Structure 1
Amino acid sequence: MDAINWGDAPTWLGAVFAAAAAAAAVWTLKSQRDQIDEQRVFIAEQSATLALERAALLDAAGDRRRAQAETIQWDTTESGMALILTNHGRSPVTDVAMEHPYRPIELCSVWGSETGDSRRADFFGLRLDPTMQPYAVLGSGKQVGCQQPDSSDPVVATFTDDAGVRWRLDQHGKLDEVPPTP
């Protein structure tokens, strides 16, 4: 038998180690790709979860934002001669104004037996004292009113809540946010 050609053995050993290194590099790349794919799936799931949480938070914020405005309600007197806007909430609203599409409305502060203050009541148990529009602050439990117009068109009240959002409430209870004016 012939002797091993040592000149070729180191070349073969280098080739075997190079092949092993190439296989390890391919395995590492595949492993990294698998990790990246897993991370993409995780990030997609996380993004979907965050989108749902954000939507829920926005809904909750919208509900909280609207909650104070929903405590402002219209009432009518027993005689039906006056409309009363009452703040049933804990926080005051500001810049309260009333308007009618075709007739001027005189905003009035409300006094009388229906409000628990009988010292200024008139014959009907209620007194409407004219006041300036907009009414600056309508505190918790306070009322403002106006005479009921002879028209079927609703009286509309506008007011600003404690978050600075302007609202529109018609006599039938329809509540809308007023878009801010630039």
Structure 2
Amino acid sequence: MGSVQWGDVPTWVASVFAGAAALFAYQTITSQRQQIGEQQEFIAEQTRFMGEQQQNLEMERAELRAAAEDRRTAQAKGVDMHARKAGASTDGQGQATPDDHWVVTVVNDSDAPIRQVEVRFGDAYNSAEVYEWNKRWNPEAHVRGDTLMQLVDLIGPGRTVRFQSPHYSHQTVHNNPPTLYFTDDGGARWALDSRGDLKETPQQPGNPPPAE
């Protein structure tokens, strides 16, 4: 048996330790990379979860706002206005005469009273006649209930009031459609025009509406 070459032993031992150190470093780096990958995946999952939670909260808030808006407008949407031009007839020669005024029927189909009710025609005209009405009556009939003020203090649930404009020329009738103003049971002031457009308004009872 030959003798051991001790002069190579330190090199051999150094190589073994260097290899072990390299293996340890590789395993450490691999473990760290795995941990970093797991952490990144966890952060991504948490980010997705938080995004979904935020989206759900926004949807819930939007639904709550929509429900609150529905509650706020529910009574106002239960108030109806039916407007028609009237006055057309025939003169002594059998010739048709044009419409010369508006007839507006306001029906409170909500479950609460409305207050400070008035109808204005265009920007300048108040109602000429206001009286109680029954929606079961013939719309063309001349029968009417008690006469009321231009600004009706209160119309109870299920009650009907009729407003008539002054008599003026056919063109003036056409150019001055009616707008209903009323205050709901919660104190909000509303405007309902002849096209059925309902909106909250700053207009005060008895005063001309603000310029658009």
Q: Which residue matches 2:109?
A: 88
1:44 corresponds to 2:51: yes
Give CA deviations for 1:85-119 in whole Å, capped at 9, x if unaligned: 111110222332221223222573515xx368xxx
CA–CA separation in structure 2 for the residues paired with 1:10 and 1:128: 112
RMSD over aligned Cα, in angstroms? 3.9
1:158 corresponds to 2:181: yes
- The 5-angstrom pairing of residues 46-85 of structure 1 reads 46-75=53-82, 82-85=103-106
Q: Which residue matches 2:209?
A: none
Could you tell which deviates more after superposition, 46-55 or 143-152? 46-55
1:24 corresponds to 2:46: no
TM-score (norm 2): 0.59
Distance 1:108 1:140, change over 3 A: same
TM-score (norm 1): 0.66
Distance 1:173 1:10, change over 3 A: same
CA–CA separation in structure 1 for the residues paired with 2:108 and 2:165: 19
1:103 corresponds to 2:121: no
Secondary structure of the corresponding residue to residue 44 of structure 1 = helix
User: Which is greater in Rg?
Assistant: 2
CA–CA separation in structure 2 for the residues paired with 1:138 and 1:53: 37
Alignment-mate amino acid for residue 104 of structure 1: N
Give CA deviations for 1:110-143 in whole Å, capped at 9, x if unaligned: 15xx368xxxxxx93313423262x333321123
Secondary structure of the corresponding residue to residue 126 of structure 2 = coil
Deviation at 1:19, TM superposition (A): 4.4
Q: Which residue matches 1:120?
A: none
CA–CA separation in structure 1 for the residues paired with 2:112 and 2:162: 19
Q: Which residue matches 2:149?
A: 131
Q: Percent identity?
A: 26
Alignment-mate amino acid for residue 144 of structure 1: V
Unaligned runs of 5+ in 1: 117-122
Equivalent pairs, count:
171
CA–CA separation in structure 2 for the residues paired with 1:164 and 1:180: 12
Alignment-mate amino acid for residue 86 of structure 1: V
CA–CA separation in structure 2 for the residues paired with 1:180 and 1:26: 65
CA–CA separation in structure 2 for the residues paired with 1:88 and 1:140: 6
Unaligned runs of 5+ in 2: 88-101, 168-172, 204-212
Distance 1:179 1:76, change over 3 A: closer
1:34 corresponds to 2:51: no
